[in-house]
Amino acid sequence: MKDEIQDTKNFIQELSEVLYNYISGISPSGMEFILHIVIKIGLLIGIFLIIDFILKFIINSGSRFFHNQEKYPILNSIKASKVTNSLAHFIALTIVGGIQNFIFTGHLPSTTFFIVRMVNLGLVLIVAGMLYRSLTAFRNYFVIKQDFYNIMALNAISETVKILGIFIFSIVGICVIFGIKGSTIVGSLGAITAVLVLVFRDTILGFVTGIHVATSKSLKVGDWVSIPKYSIEGNIADISLLTTKINNFDKTISSIPTYDLLTTEIKNLQVMSESNTRRIKKSIYFNINSFKFLREEDIERLKDINLISEYLEGKSVELRKEKENIDHKENIINGRQLTNIGVFRYYAQRYIENDPDIDHNGAMMVRQLDITPQGLPLEVYCFANDSKWEHFEQIQADIFDHLLVASKEFDLQVMQVNVKV
């Protein structure tokens, strides 16, 4: 085997010698160096392309047996990101770097020095490309697995690594081209560290935010969110290192700094959407002057309302028994009494409990809030069983249309400011 390799080396050197003598014979005076280096580079590029083509053909032919994404997600993600192409480039250039010493050997050593540096620079660029494609392969793997939280974290990491990679490989490339020690350049960076931190402030914050959001699993692309600070409500379209894009429901697109995901109040409404329920939390303001105790005739009239007839019957018996032992029972204020606002509150509660459009597994409540100058707020708190926006608004409107009109049966007055023209 060693003899065969040595024979191959000798053959290449003999061809190289013949080619060198031929080029030297036809080269104009003073142009030998340029012509030799051009021919040498051309030969090496040709050899590189041939070897690279053969390697890629072999690798891609073998990958055809692993085309099933679900069964071989790793191999498919590597193939889609073309990491194998970078690997073929690296092997081919390494081979070229090894055989270049046998071309024009012993002649014009300065060309060999130049070629070596070019090959080393090419290896640096290929390694940089391979690392970047490796990050893409990770992302493709998580896309196949539908792991959106890890995709978001990897987006933040890949953008940061890309920026740092450009910076680091630029330094390595300069060192390779000019033969400078890397420690010399790295040592001089200490003086501008503060400037670099200031320049990459948003990048660093975006990186930290991406990692935090991914690990906490609080947000992901596609989530329905609301950001009160910017009056934004829509679906997250993309979370990158510096900006987050949101498709608003009014068909516009908003972009906010990614680090705002850590510092700003964000309501994630996706859980509500996935459960197909949406909260109703709305109040009706009643004029306090319309509140009153219910007399016997009022109670008898309201007993015709089916939702509260049993409630009124039971309460009437209960209150009559209590009044039997009370002095001045003819005075309505003595003892417990039913009020029109209280009975209406019970009616509203029973109404939402019997509404088929309300989720009966969630909270259902009608409550009084603190009195305001506009009157007493009576709040309806429940969940519609359809989170689709237009359906939800229809369900909510139907409830309050009914309650606003029904309040007249209880002699209640909805608060309304009269404007004099």
The domain limits of the chain are 11-180, 223-272, 278-324+333-410
Q: Look at residue 11 and tell me whether its pLDDT is greater than 60.
A: no
Distance CA 312, CA 315 (A): 5
* 8 Å CB contact between 398 and 276: no
User: Are 366 and 282 within 8 A, CB to CB?
Assistant: no
Q: 19-23, 262-266, 306-310: which has the minimum mean pLDDT? A: 19-23
Long-range contacts of 339-343 (CB under 8 A, 24+ apart): 339/291, 339/292, 339/293, 339/294, 340/290, 340/291, 340/292, 340/294, 340/298, 340/410, 340/411, 340/412, 341/286, 341/291, 341/376, 341/378, 341/410, 341/412, 343/294, 343/302, 343/308, 343/311, 343/312, 343/410
**Comparison of pLDDT for 408 and 207, the residue scoring more:** 408
At 381, the pLDDT band (50, 70, 90 cuts) reads very high
Report the chain's mean pLDDT, rounded to a whole number.
75
Note the pTM of the prediction, 2 decimals.
0.49
φ, ψ of residue 181 in degrees (nearest 5): -70, 135
The percent of residues above 90 in pLDDT, for the chain, comes to 20
Q: 142, 200 in Cβ contact below 8 A?
A: no
pLDDT of residue 283: 93
- Spelled out in words, what is the top-level CATH class assigned to the domain 223-272? mainly beta
pLDDT value, residue 421: 40
DSSP E strands, 165-277: 224-227, 232-239, 243-248, 253-257, 267-268
Q: State the Cα–Cα distance between residues 217 and 224, nearest whole angstrom.
A: 14
Between 30 and 171, residue with greater pLDDT: 171
d(CA 173, CA 117): 10
Q: What is the pLDDT of residue 419?
A: 41
Is pLDDT of 316 > 80?
Answer: yes
In terms of pLDDT, which residue wins out, 191 or 268? Answer: 268
Between helix 73-80 and helix 83-99 the angle, nearest 10°, is 60
Q: Give percent of the chain with pLDDT exceeding 70.
A: 61
pLDDT (mean) for 250-279: 78
Q: Which of 8-12, 155-159, 267-271 has the lowest mean pLDDT?
A: 8-12
pLDDT confidence of residue 420 = 45
